[in-house]
Amino acid sequence: MRGHLLSGLAALVAGIVGLVGATPAWAHGFGARYDLPIPLWLYLLGAGGAVAVSFVIVALMARRTPGLHGYARLDLRRWALGRALTHAATLNAVRLIAVAVFLLIIVAGLFGTQSPTRNFAPTMVWVIWWVGLAFVCALVGNLWALVNPWRILFAWAEAGYRAATGGHELAGRLAYPRGLGMVPAIILFLVFAWLELVWRGGEVPRSLACAIIAYSAVTWAGMAAFGREIWLRHGEAFDIAFGLLARFAPTEVRVTNTALCETCGSGACGHGAHGAQEHRDCVDCYDCASRAAPDARQFNLRPWTVGLLSHAPVPWTMLVFILLMLATVSFDGIKETPAWTGLMDGIFGTQALAPLLFGLHDLTGNVMATLQTLALVVLPTVFLIVYMLFAWMMAAAAGPSDAEPVSAGQVARLFVLSLIPIALAYHLAHYISFLLLAGQLIIPLVSDPFGFGWDLFGTADYRLDIAVVNARMVWYTAVAAIVVGHMVAVYLAHIAAMRVYADTRRALRGQIPVLALMVGYTTLSLWILSQPIVKSSAG
Amino acid sequence: MNRDRRAFLAAGAAVALLGASAARADTKIIDVVIEARKVVGDDVARVTQGDAVTLRWSTDEAVSVHLHGYDLKLSIAPDVPTEMTFEAFAAGRFPVTSHGFGGHDHDDEEVVLLYLEVHPR
């Protein structure tokens, strides 16, 4: 069973490596950003605000633990509009569109013009999907769970196979090794982060389409071997990434018939799946939701962030996945700061390193990419080490107790979800103007997805409006988002602490290191925003 | 009478507004000198949104420059100062890249010469 997985991964890596050599450098870089750095006074105000807010929250809520015993919910299926939105016909129509867009990306990438900005694929993938959908998932709800083309197409294939063979199952003949956890997703996300941040082929339509095909092959192989839902929960990096962001969102899918969970294809639902512990309902399990009877199914409005309240320590591999996500989001910003290019120039300018750099060049062909790849591995490792250090400090600060020994490992796995709002806020702050500017590219592209000079909807001649974003508004939105994200993170950590430690005093002591960590992380995010974006001269 | 007065006031307000906005928009002329394929001095030019900007280019080697975002392109010959004039209507940080130094059109490498920072009012 591991053979399948490994051969799939090997094929993916080989495919990508094969493409890199053939990647031409494009004269007009895709995804240019024109944001102004936030001014110093706003940076200081934001950082100071974050510190102040931290202490106010903890002081105000020292003895209170809201959200511990369930939360207010409103079933949107109560109204005709809610029922229409969640009707099978609507969902199937959305799925059909999602699959059509997925196929269009691949076909446009393979056969369309190879200019990054005149082909549908790069803008759709990097701007609308990766940035835009992340916003939707975090702020509205887990749309990816519905439109994930790998899930949809595989489910269709399963249904077809069942019909053709008289009820035989297509997938899931192998038992997924429990100990593996989310390791496949971690590896795939790391590969993806490299494609996004280091690889220049990401903006070349054909290379991008090939990478998508390779990822599809790995995903479907994983689904076929272990079962669709099992792979989605352990190996489909985006289902996990968007799912984590969607825990922040104010909507949830809930199934009140928990007997269904016994036969859930994911094998993980009801046992540590988030939110499921409170009332023993099944929350945000899309396998159960799709099989539940209509009257056992709810589409609820809920308070923001409650999905991030951790009831039990998350698995170790999920902790690593979350920190990997946070580190790559930060790295995306860091590698465009003058400090980073200064560091790179310093490395390139150091005589003592010259033989090493020449050696690297002979070995890999691109020293800059090699150094960035290295950074992409080093930075998550640093994040992990720093985080574990703080978890250890928290456990130590709270002090030992015979009644409830809480180890640093448990602390780490309990608090990691509370870091997500900071990452989310930074993501929002960093990408809002990019989404508004580069996102406009999709307007002409829907009329001419292949760059063949078509004009299907009369929008092909649309030109980017660079004045669409008000710089001052973007600054205020960005800093407000970061301070609010920080506030939410502190609040979540406080509730987690109150949950872990029965003794209030220990809970408060234990929170001091986590507060320090969060202030540091928020300040790093703000600092990146205060830096002018520069293009690497050595690129 | 009342109507006339209102019209008069409106016209006055319009003139005042126009005058104010005209007074706030400055004219900025910035000299940019390229030597040995690099800009001499600071590689960031700062203007304020609404300014009428003139970038006065001179170079020691034939080159094309491209102001991104505003999407303005200009070919410059050696020792012939050439101007790029535009209204800085959008705030942001816009790279100016060089293309084809020495008249080589197939030079793909995109190098940032200068950043134009348009600060909001």
Question: What would the pLDDT profile of A178-206 be if each residue is shown by its tens digit?
Answer: 899 999 999 999 999 999 988 888 889 99
Q: Which residues of A touch B93 (CB under 8 A)?
A: 34-37, 532-533
pLDDT of residue A318: 96
Structure tokens, A165: 């063979």
Strand partners, A538: none
ipTM value greater than 0.85? no
Q: Is A486 helix (H, G, I), strand (E, B) or coil?
A: helix
In a domain, A539, yes or no: no
A27 and B108 within 8 Å at the Cβ level: the answer is: yes
Task: Return the number of CB contacts < 8 Å for A and B.
Answer: 57
pLDDT of residue A276: 41
pLDDT of residue A424: 94
Residues A365 and A21: their CA atoms lie apart, in Å, by: 9
* Of A280-289, A433-442, A472-481, minimum mean pLDDT range: A280-289
Q: What is the mean pLDDT of residues A372-394?
A: 94
**Burial class of B21 by CB neighbour count within 10 A (0 to 12, 13 to 18, 19+):** exposed
Q: What is the mean pLDDT of residues A461-477?
A: 90
Nearest by CB to residue A36, choosing from B68, B92, B110, is B92
Task: Give B44→chain A minimum CA distance, Å.
Answer: 10
Please give the share of chain A, as a percent, with pLDDT higher than 70: 88
Max Cα–Cα distance, chain A, nearest Å: 73
DSSP type of residue A127 = I
- pTM higher than the cut 0.90: no
Residues B44 and A532: their CA atoms lie apart, in Å, by: 10
Residues A154 and A139: their CA atoms lie apart, in Å, by: 28
Residue type for A533, please? Answer: I
DSSP type of residue A319 = H
Q: What is the mean pLDDT of residues B1-30?
A: 66
Domain range enclosing A326: 2-529
CB A52 within 8 A of CB A269: no
pLDDT in tens, A224-244: 999 999 999 999 999 999 999
Residue B111: in which H helix or E strand, if any?
A: strand B111-119
pLDDT of residue A257: 80
pLDDT of residue A55: 84
> What confidence category does residue A261 fall into, taking pLDDT thresholds of 50, 70 and 90?
confident
pLDDT of residue A184: 97
Does A27 score more than 50 pLDDT?
Answer: no
B112 and A535 within 8 Å at the Cβ level: the answer is: yes
CB A141 within 8 A of CB A251: yes
Q: Which residues of A169-203 are buried (b: 16+ CB within 10 A; e: fewer)?
A: ebbbeeebeeeebbbbbbbbbbbbbbbbbbbbbbb
Structure tokens, B56: 């006065």
- Our count of domains for chain A comes to 1
In a domain, A536, yes or no: no
A173 at the B interface (CB within 8 A)? no
Quote the radius of gyration of chain B (alpha carbons, Å): 20
Show the beta-strand stretches assigned E in A344-447: none
B111 and A35 within 8 Å at the Cβ level: the answer is: no
> What confidence category does residue A84 fall into, taking pLDDT thresholds of 50, 70 and 90?
very high
Residues A27 and B106: their CA atoms lie apart, in Å, by: 10
Residues A206 and A128: their CA atoms lie apart, in Å, by: 18
A59 at the B interface (CB within 8 A)? no
B69 and A26 within 8 Å at the Cβ level: the answer is: no
In a domain, A30, yes or no: yes
Does A59 score more than 50 pLDDT?
Answer: yes
pLDDT of residue A244: 96
* Of A7-21, A139-153, A203-217, A239-253, minimum mean pLDDT range: A7-21
User: For the residues of A203-234, what is the DSSP string, one character each?
Assistant: GSHHHHHHHHHHHHHHHHHHHHHH-HHHHHHH
> Domains (ranges, CATH) in chain B?
25-119 (2.60.40.420)
* Of A82-96, A123-137, A375-389, B17-31, minimum mean pLDDT range: B17-31
Task: Give B121→chain A minimum CA distance, Å.
Answer: 9
Residues A495 and B19: their CA atoms lie apart, in Å, by: 57
Residues B63 and B104: their CA atoms lie apart, in Å, by: 9
Residues B43 and A101: their CA atoms lie apart, in Å, by: 42
Does A365 score more than 50 pLDDT?
Answer: yes
Q: Which residues of A touch B44 (CB under 8 A)?
A: 532
pLDDT of residue B58: 94
Q: What is the mean pLDDT of residues A163-180?
A: 90
pLDDT of residue B9: 66
More confident residue, B9 or A286: A286
> What confidence category does residue A33 fall into, taking pLDDT thresholds of 50, 70 and 90?
confident
In a domain, A58, yes or no: yes
Nearest to A256 by CA among A97, A487, A35, A75: A75
Quote the radius of gyration of chain A (alpha carbons, Å): 24
pLDDT of residue A19: 45
Residues B37 and B60: their CA atoms lie apart, in Å, by: 8
Place of tokens 């700062």: B46
Q: What is the mean pLDDT of residues A255-278?
A: 65
pLDDT of residue A262: 77
Strand partners, B85: B54
CB A163 within 8 A of CB A215: no
In a domain, A535, yes or no: no
Nearest by CB to residue B93, choosing from A27, A34, A467, is A34
Q: Which residues of A touch B111 (CB under 8 A)?
A: 537
Residues A173 and A226: their CA atoms lie apart, in Å, by: 6
CB A13 within 8 A of CB A210: no
Residues A471 and A469: their CA atoms lie apart, in Å, by: 6
pLDDT of residue B46: 95
Does A460 score more than 50 pLDDT?
Answer: yes
Structure tokens, A482: 């970061």
Positive or negative, the CA dihedral A320, A325, A329, A331 is: positive
More confident residue, A98 or A172: A98
Residue type for A188, please? Answer: L
> Which residues have C-beta within 8 Å of that of residue A189, sequence separation ≥ 6?
A237, A240, A241, A321, A324, A325, A328
> What confidence category does residue B5 fall into, taking pLDDT thresholds of 50, 70 and 90?
low
Does B97 score more than 50 pLDDT?
Answer: yes
- CA angle A77/A83/A84 to nearest 5° reads 155
Nearest to A34 by CA among B110, B68, B97: B68
> What confidence category does residue A537 fall into, taking pLDDT thresholds of 50, 70 and 90?
very low
Residues 438-467 of A with CB under 8 A from B: 466-467
pLDDT of residue A214: 97
Average pLDDT value for chain A: 87
- Please give the residue of chain A at the shortest CA–CA distance from B88: A467
Task: Give A445→chain B minimum CA distance, Å.
Answer: 18
B111 and A466 within 8 Å at the Cβ level: the answer is: no
pLDDT in tens, A275-295: 444 456 788 888 888 888 888
- Please give the residue of chain B at the shortest CA–CA distance from A538: B111
CB A357 within 8 A of CB A309: no
